[in-house]
Structures are given as C-alpha cells and as structure tokens.
Amino acid sequence: MTKNKKKQQGIVLVLSLIILLAMTLIGVSGMQSTSLEATVAGNMRDKGLSSQAAASALIEAETVMGGYKDEPEIAEPPARPVAKQVWGKNNPVPTEQATWPVNSTATHDWWVTNGIAITTPLDNTVYAEQPRHITEYWSFHKDTLNMGQQNDTAGINYYKITSWGVGAQAEDSTENIKATASIHQTTYAKRF
C-alpha cells in the first residue's frame, strides 16, 4: 500500500507541473496578443492625428487664399513661395509632374523645408511636427456665354492646395523611425 501511495504522489507532482506549464503558455500568449493590439491601437491613433493635422493645414491654406484681394504671384523655381506667392503648376517637385504628391519623393525633410507651417500652432505635446501646406497655381478658365461675366479677361483661377501632417510619433532617421504622415489635397477656385 505504501508503494502505490508514493507512486501516486509523484504522478500528482508531474500533472501539477504539466498544468502549470500549460497555464504559463496561455498567459504568455495572451500578453503577446495584448501587446500587438496596443501597438495597432497606437498606430491607428497616430494616423488619425496626422489626418487631423493635414486637414487643419488645408483649412488654413484655403482661408489664406480666400483673403487675397488680388491674384497671388507665381514663385519661380527654385525659389520657395513667400507671402502672396504660390508655386507654379507642378513646380514643387518638377521631376514628378505626373505623380505629385501621391507617389512623390517629397520626404519629411522636403516638407519641413518647403511647406508653409500653419500660423496657429497645434499642441506640441500631441503632434510631433506642425502641419504644413503648399499652394500651386493650376489653371485659368475664362468666362463663357454660359458661365461668368461673358468677358475675355474675366474668369476663375484654380489652385491645388496640398497639406501634410504628422501624428505623435516623431521622425528619427538615426533609428530609422518613420513618422505617420497624411497628405490631403483640394482644388480651390477663386475669381479675382
């Protein structure tokens, strides 16, 4: 009888260790899943912040264009536009006329150098960079018998406004960390 009792105690110990190992594996798996979900949620938040930043820059650029009483001048490349100036058509990245800005090589550094930062800064504790925008002269459509003042010199100027915003994650080239960036674009029409 004592022999069976000793065998049974050993079996209980082995079963307890197997159950403990299984519970540990389940716990580790659950922690990895939670860590992945937290990363995904952080990336989604960052994407939302970058989109909001780009939208705020777009709104500001439209407000600036709306305030112009006279047609803005077109800056000649490689000069960057200053007050009351806009880029010429496809001038921001002339080598990429067909793809600008969707497949553009306009990097973080390009936007910081060439984009116009918004005048009402966003909270730097939330956003890694201030959003920026550029405005390009796109085309002029003169009035016709069906539209406008039926005058050869009168018409509507069209501008393409492109904005760029980043989320909370800052760009760090030393550690190869890319910021989450959003680009928004709109067409703005105005009669001067």
- Per DSSP bridges, beta strands 73-75 and 85-87 are parallel
Torsion angle of the four alpha carbons 16, 17, 22, 24, in this order, in degrees rounded to the nearest 10: 110
Q: What pLDDT does 188 receive?
A: 94
Q: Please state, in angstroms and rounded to a whole number, the distance separating the CA atoms of residues 28 and 148.
A: 69
Q: What pLDDT does 4 receive?
A: 61
Two structure tokens written together for 93: 């990245």
The three-point CA angle 188-180-101 to 5° equals 35
- 17-68 pLDDT, tens digit each: 899 999 988 888 877 778 778 878 888 888 888 899 999 999 999 998 999 8
Per the model's pLDDT, the better-predicted residue between 145 and 102 turns out to be 145
Rg (CA), the chain: 29
Residue 128 pLDDT > 70, yes or no?
A: yes
Query: Taking the alpha carbons of 107, 112, 116, 118 in that order, is the dihedral positive or negative?
Result: positive
Q: What is the mean pLDDT of the chain?
A: 79
Residue 79 pLDDT > 60, yes or no?
A: yes
